[in-house]
Structure 1
Amino acid sequence: MTTTAQFEKQTKSLIDDLKSVCANYGLGNDGNEFKIITQVFLYKFLNDKFVHEVKQLDPNIAAAEDWEKALRNLSEDDREMLTMQMSESTATIHPDQLISSLFDRQNEPKFADILDNTLLDIAKNNSEIFSVITEGGEKIVLFENISKYVTDKRDDFCRAIINKLVHFSFENIFHEKFDFYATIFEYLISDYNSNSGGKYAEYFTPHAVAKIMARCLVNGEVSNATCYDPSAGSGTLLMNLAHEIGEDKCTIYSQDISQKSSNLLRLNLILNNLVHSIHNIVKGNTILEPFHKENGRIQQFDYIVSNPPFKLDFSDFSADLDTKENHERFFAGIPNIPKTKKESMAIYLMFLQHVMYSLKPNGKAAIVVPTGFITAQSGIDKKIRERMVESKMLAGVVSMPSNIFATTGTNVSILFLDKQNKSDVVLIDASNLGTTVKEGKNQKTVLSHIEEDKIIDTFNTKTAIDDFSVVVSYDEIKRKNYSLSAGQYFEVKIEYTDITVAEFEVKIQDFSANLEALFNESKTLEMEIQSNLKRLKYE
């Protein structure tokens, strides 16, 4: 029997094979390689899921020596009835669009056009469920013409792709759960998830951070929950949150200005059985034009997670944010445009205010912020902390180890909000945890499972641990000038040793004798040095 580890190895091998094909046709490390790899991988996944479900629904097809022939022999009405019984998460695929069919047709002329048209037709036929939308209402469908990225030998390229796909099957992997697909997804996008220089560049949040955020947010049974990320990136935070709640017990909402991120998030949703939420995935500028609304107001959510970009030049539209409608949302203000280094504008402060505004009256949130935010003595930063404390919506803060993100040297903290937390706040200093490892050219701090659990358990039980965590009241935070740094609340411990007067005098005599000996030694050395200097002078 094939193990999960073997499935994982085989799936990663398929991804490597697809990358190898791209490299052989001049697309290695090309910006378009990402589009080809992710779309081809998704086509394969949806193809195999369709086949898997067909066999589940029709025992005759499953038992047939040639299942594809048995499928083709169905009447149009029977085939339509079969597809109507399929789950919403399964794309509808015609027998002619199956990978096995394309494999049989690979020697036909203009094979690249056959593959491209197949992908475009599948995208069109499944547009209603599988499309991401833009803030302007346009649909970004599943697939596009992939051979256009190859300048020469397009037919050969497409044949090579199909030949890699046909010898692998996802059918035995559909029973695998979140941890498996999270690993595969990370491997799939590992070469493409870098800062491309665009606005709100893609972020991949380490699993340790995502896991801590999800498990500190979700306690007990939850159902019919709405989960939102205003800067979703590839969706790591949302996937962890949905898994903690239960994929069938929540609905995902997101917005991100990057089309690349939106496509990655769609892929993540499909892999993790969250297809029902794809229509809530929006490509757009959250800060300028928040898409998700109810009755004309910005929609509020049960859970919000976010790892927003910390700094970004948003001077092009910062003036447009200063409107009457936005005064309540951006209550603490909008960062000024610096005369130089516009790229240093603290856009995370805008996302943080947006998150606070988007929480339901009983909502919870977890946001990654630069650690400097939790102690800033003035400005927008402090105004935001004051609001959190005064309105009693702060649950706690976890200050993470440095280099928890390999791609940035910025120290980060996780800010937890809970609009129903009217009691104490837990502050955790986890900066000394973790082991440093090398990742490429960067140093990265990795938390062990035991360390992750220590943070999560301490937070959820609100436990005070010497030099690690402290539990404080809102009034104590006010007295500390709204500082959220655990270290500023730790007790300074002074150890006292009881000794008699006689013992004290003996110690003083010992110290005096030692000092006298040291002074005498110092004088001797000084005389030797002067003598040597005189000798050198005359030589």
Structure 2
Amino acid sequence: MSEEQKKLLEAQLWNIANELRGKMDADEFRDYILGFIFYKYLSEKQYLYANQLLETEKVKDYHKVTNMEDLQAIREESLLKLGYFLRPDELFNFIAKKGNANTETESNFILADLEGILNSIEQSTMGTESEDDFNKLFEDLDLNSTKLGRSTEARNSLISKVLLHLDKIDFALEDADSDVLGDAYEYLISQFASGAGKKAGEFYTPQQVSKILAKIVTTGKKRLKSVYDPTCGSGSLLLRVAREVEVDEFFGQELNRTTYNLARMNMILHDVHYRNFDIKQEDTLEQPQHLDQKFEAVVANPPFSAKWRGKNNPLNENDERFSQYGRLAPTSKADFAFLQHMLYQLAENGTMACVLPHGVLFRGAAEETIRKYIIKDLNYLDTVIGLPANIFYGTSIPTCILVLSKCRVNDDDILFIDASQSFDKDGNKNLLTDEHVDTIIQTYRERTTLDKYSYVAKLDEVKENDYNLNIPRYVDTFEEEEPVNLDEVSSALRDLEKDIAETDTTIIDFCKQLNIPSPF
């Protein structure tokens, strides 16, 4: 599919999303439209796979299969291959056509049918390997919500219209090498994030920031055994890593239930097999779900300066993730707690890159103790990258990327990159372009000192700065101002005084002609 066709698909899906937009907030109608797109995707995957199984049978079109033995055989194979099962009368195009049927001859009421189908998808996985991946996956699609319409008829009409529009769109799933629908899904998620305000930070990391993190953790790699995101949101950051290299398995954890559902949908819709991802829903700091595993790559954009129980939870004092550092991260700022958790999960040959607020570079007290231990005692900190302010949804604060590794090649220095002024304006936001991203990655990989942009600091120099990582201490971005010509300034002032005097004279003359008092 060409770039033009891809853009057309994105535009079509966004226009359909706006069928719902007038009815509810951005984050609410997001759940409906993405859920319906996902249902259509599952239907088309089921239809294509069933037709493959029917190639040697008399009836070759899954829509026309009625034999119960054939349906049972297709069900068994589908649960192994796809992880779920849909009967022919549960497919998306069947229910879309019913919802837009001629009301004079047949009923077009589909809400009960649609709710039953979504429940059936989940129930088809009960007792199988994919059960956890589909459990309550559609719980946010409340088809009886008055936000869809005050009456049952109004809700039925709106949903039927949306399904009809979606039914007309070709997702091109037959093209095994194409991820156009996945790209379009990501586009929609980003569009919803741009309109969701502060809530957007809970589920989406801007694409260019994701690209930086992904390129960092895949440097020197052609394949990753595993990648992990402890605050995975919609899963977009995990999937971004897979655009750089092949990834065998994806692991993530997300606190928000709705966002957790979105992450699982996102994985499946990007054709990640249910056996190859493990996304859990719990508080990562309080109830970590993957502590028995180590990961080759770790990426994250944790919630900035989130509150956590810290020392108020006595279990944290003895938790292996935090106990060796001497202090616990403050209860008002969990930034270092997330970083410590990620370090604990990082494999000995792994690399981690995470986005954190700028304050982690220089704040004192407990955070200073932890920062010093990471640098001096563990020597895990590899690179500090300063990002521009106002590039994230929902906050304008300046941020940084910390890159850490347990087997650093350059173990006697730390690379500092100041990319804080490298951005383009995009409305009221700042935007990283591909060129800005490429410069950051090239500097990271070549580990070079560039005037006013990057600096390779020896550990002794960091020690002299009391392990304060504030980037201006290492990267000098001072711009010397041009000398002022005082003679030219003096001449300009004289000319200005002359012009003022002439203007005053003119005003006085006007006042005389108008027979009004002069202001002078």
TM range (shorter): 0.7 to 0.9
Using the alignment, how far apart are the partners of 1:11 and 1:370 within structure 2? 32
| 1:463 CA drift (Å) | 1.6
- 8 Å Cα contact 1:269-1:278 kept in structure 2: no
Deviation at 1:83, TM superposition (A): 5.7
For 1:437, the aligned partner's letter is: D
Q: How does 1:2-81 map onto structure 2 within 5 Å?
A: 3-20=2-19, 22=20, 27-29=23-25, 32-59=28-55, 67-70=61-64, 72=65, 76-77=69-70, 80-81=73-74
Partner of 1:124, secondary structure, is helix
The aligned residue for residue 169 of structure 2 is 168
Corresponding residue to 1:270 among 256, 268, 271? 268
**Alignment pair present for 1:213 and 2:213:** yes
**2:372 counterpart of 1:382:** no
- Answer yes or no: is the 8 Å Cα contact 1:119–1:145 preserved in 2: no
- Asked if 1:437 is matched to 2:426, the reply is yes
Q: Check whether the contact 2:54–2:62 (CA below 8 A) recurs between aligned residues.
A: no
Q: How far did 1:112 drift? A: 1.5
User: Structure 1, unaligned stretches of length 5 or more?
Assistant: 338-344, 496-510, 530-538
Q: Is the 8 A contact 1:194 1:203 kept in 2?
A: no
Alignment of 1:113-128 (within 5 A): 113-127=112-126, 128=128
2:445 paired residue number: 460
Distance apart, 1:41 and its partner CA: 1.1
Decide whether the 8 Å contact of 2:264 with 2:279 is kept in 1.
yes
Cα–Cα, structure 1 residues 416 and 98, in superposed 2: closer, same or farther, change >3 Å?
same
Cα displacement string for residues 57-86 of structure 1 (whole angstroms, at most 9, x for unaligned residues): 54468996xx3445x156624762586278
Look up the match of 1:405: 392
CA distance in 2 between partners of 1:51 and 1:9 (Å): 24
Taking the aligned partners of 1:69 and 1:414, their CA distance within structure 2 comes to: 51
Name the structure 2 match of 1:314: 308
Shift of 1:305: 0.9
Alignment check: 8 A CA contact 2:250 2:277 kept: no
How do 1:207-246 residues align onto structure 2 when only pairs under 5 Å count?
207-223=207-223, 225-246=225-246
Distance 1:231 1:469 in 2: 29
Q: Does 1:148 align with 2:148?
A: no
| Among candidates 274, 278, 281, match of residue 279 of structure 2 | 281
3-state SS, counterpart of residue 392 of structure 2:
coil
Residues of 1 paired with 2:17 and 2:477: CA distance?
58
Any stretches of 5+ residues in structure 2 without a counterpart? 100-105, 502-519
> Alignment identity in percent?
22
Secondary structure of 1:302's counterpart equals strand
1:480 and 2:465 correspond: yes
Partners of 1:429 and 1:486 within 8 A in 2: yes
Relative to 1, partners in 2 of residues 1:467 and 1:460: Cα closer, same or farther, differing over 3 Å?
Answer: same
Q: CA offsets, 1:136-190, max 9 Å, x none?
A: xx94334576422244114434433432232222135754655862453232463
Query: Alignment partner of 1:436: what SS?
Result: strand
Mapped partners of 1:69, 1:280: distance in 2: 33
Deviation at residue 303 of structure 1 after TM alignment: 1.4
1:47 and 1:93 in contact (8 A); partners too: yes
CA distance in 2, matches of 1:8, 1:94: 32
Q: Secondary structure at the match of 1:293?
A: coil
User: Equivalent residue for 1:181?
Assistant: 182
Cα pair 1:218 1:245 within 8 Å, conserved:
yes
Amino acid at match of 1:287: L
Amino acid at match of 1:426: L
**Residues 123 and 4 of structure 1, relative CA distance in 2, 3 Å threshold:** farther
Secondary structure, counterpart of 2:85 in structure 1? coil
Q: In structure 2, give the amino acid aligned to 1:123.
A: E
Instruction: Determine the C-alpha separation between the residues in 1 that align with 2:320 and 2:374.
Output: 17
Q: Say if 1:201 and 1:130 are closer, same or farther in 2 by CA, change over 3 A.
A: farther
CA distance in 1, matches of 2:373, 2:208: 29
Contact (CA 8 Å) 1:349, 1:380: kept in 2 or not? Answer: no
**Which residue identity is paired with 1:251?**
E
| Separation (CA, whole Å) in 2 of partners of 1:303 and 1:57 | 38
Amino acid at match of 2:435: I
1:357-376, aligned counterparts within 5 Å?
Answer: 357-376=344-363
- Describe the shift of the 1:76–1:286 C-alpha distance in structure 2 as closer, same or farther (beyond 3 A): same
Normalised to the residue count of structure 1, the TM-score between the two structures is 0.77
Matches within 5 A, 1:332-347: 332-336=326-330, 345-347=332-334
Once superposed, what is the RMSD of the aligned Cα atoms?
3.7
User: For 1:52, what is the secondary structure of its paired residue?
Assistant: helix
Is the CA contact (8 Å cut-off) linking 1:223 and 1:245 kept in structure 2? yes
Residues 82, 62 of structure 1: alpha-carbon distance in 2 compared, 3 angstrom cutoff:
farther
Conserved? CA contact 2:305–2:333, under 8 Å: yes
Q: Give the 5 Å matches for 1:189-208.
A: 190-191=191-192, 202-208=202-208
C-alpha distance in 1, partners of 2:225/2:357?
28
Tell me: CA distance 1:140–1:465, structure 2 relative to 1, closer, same or farther (3 Å). Answer: same
Give me the TM-score of the superposition, normalised by structure 2: 0.79
